[in-house]
Amino acid sequence: MEGLPEQDELVLVSVKKIMPYGAFCTLDEYGGKEAFVHISEVAPRWIKNIHEFLHEGQKLVAKVYHVDASKGQIDLSLKRVTESEKKAKMEGARREKRAEKLFEVALKVAKSTKAEALTAQTALVEKYGSIVDAIEALAEGGEAALAGIRIEKGLAKALVEVTAKSMRKAKAELNGLLSLTSYSPDGVEEIKQALLSSPKPQDAKVELLYLGAPHYQIRVVAEDYKAAQKAMESTVQSIMEEARKRQMSAEFSKLEK
């Protein structure tokens, strides 16, 4: 990327030099531009020794909280990055790196020229918005994903073959424990209706598993962490609201793998 990141943007950084009052980092996605994270922005609590949290060469996800374009100054925060934001950013970076690698492999297989590579990259980005989205569309749709795109035939064939053999869309899975207790004479039916009240998301698979009264496991599987998180939140919110309406006791907690 060229230019400077925007305020509140999540960025991938490498810790370059650690000082008693903070650390200088390079922005991996912005050509190694330098940024600074003050010690007060490293963790949510007071830090006595910054080396307990950071070491040189460490790869991190940071949030840009101040940019001075006139001075080229970029200030970062680590403590303002939530766990879900960190996971989503890291997953996106892995997907992007994987897609770019497969594109390079296809270029080598097809023995494409620089001009053919540039033409193909431009055409794919114009249709899909990014190389990663284009490669994932190819993995799912095969040759049909290249319909209407002008790409040299040898390269088109290589892209289809390489993605078919190597690309598998990442799956994100989240699990939660739901406890539901009804004091109604018709409690079993009340709980059933509360569970059935949850919406069915289009971009995620949600399973409700009975573990033994009063516990139920919520299992969500989606193509990425962001979609899984969204589906989990909407499912839990819907069930909890329905439980309150029916004057039931309801508790939810995340299950770590």
CATH number of the domain bearing residue 232? 3.30.70.1130
Inter-residue contact 172 to 221 (CB < 8 Å): yes
Q: Which secondary structure element, helix H or strand E, spans residue 140, and what is its range?
A: helix 131-141
Q: Which pLDDT score is estimated for 167? A: 61
Reported as a single tens digit per residue, the pLDDT across 112-123 is: 999 999 999 999
3-state SS class at 76: strand
Tell me if the pTM is above 0.75: no
Q: Which of 149, 166, 183 is the last residue of a domain?
A: 166
Using the predicted structure, report yes or no on whether residue 66 has a pLDDT greater than 90. yes
Q: What is the band of 92 on the pLDDT scale with cuts at 50, 70, 90?
A: confident
Q: CATH number of the domain that 68 lies in?
A: 2.40.50.140
Residues 176 and 146 in one domain: no
Q: Which residues form the domain of 97? A: 84-166
- Out of 143-147, 208-212, 229-233, which region has the weakest mean confidence (pLDDT)? 208-212
What element of type H or E holds 249? strand 249-255
Over residues 62-81, the mean pLDDT reads 93
Question: Helix crossing, 153-166 with 83-110: angle to 10°?
Answer: 130
* Confidence label for 201 from pLDDT (cuts 50, 70 and 90): confident
Q: Which residues pair with 207 in a beta bridge?
A: 219
pLDDT tens digits for range 156-180: 999 999 998 876 555 788 888 989 9
Give residue 2's pLDDT: 64
Distance, CA of 118 to CA of 124 (rounded, Å): 10
3 within some domain: no
Q: Is residue 199 part of a domain?
A: yes
Do 76 and 37 share a domain, yes or no? yes
Among the candidates 35, 57, 81, a domain finishes at 81
- pLDDT of 226 strictly over 90: no
SS3 content of the chain, % helix, strand, coil (to 5): 45, 30, 30
Q: Are residues 238 and 204 in the same domain?
A: yes
- State the total domains in the chain: 3
Q: Residue 20: its pLDDT value, please?
A: 93
The values of phi and psi at residue 93, to 5°, are: -65, -40
Residue where one domain finishes, among candidates 59, 81, 103 = 81
Cβ–Cβ under 8 Å, residues 216 and 208: yes
Split at pLDDT 50, 70, 90, the class of 187 is: confident
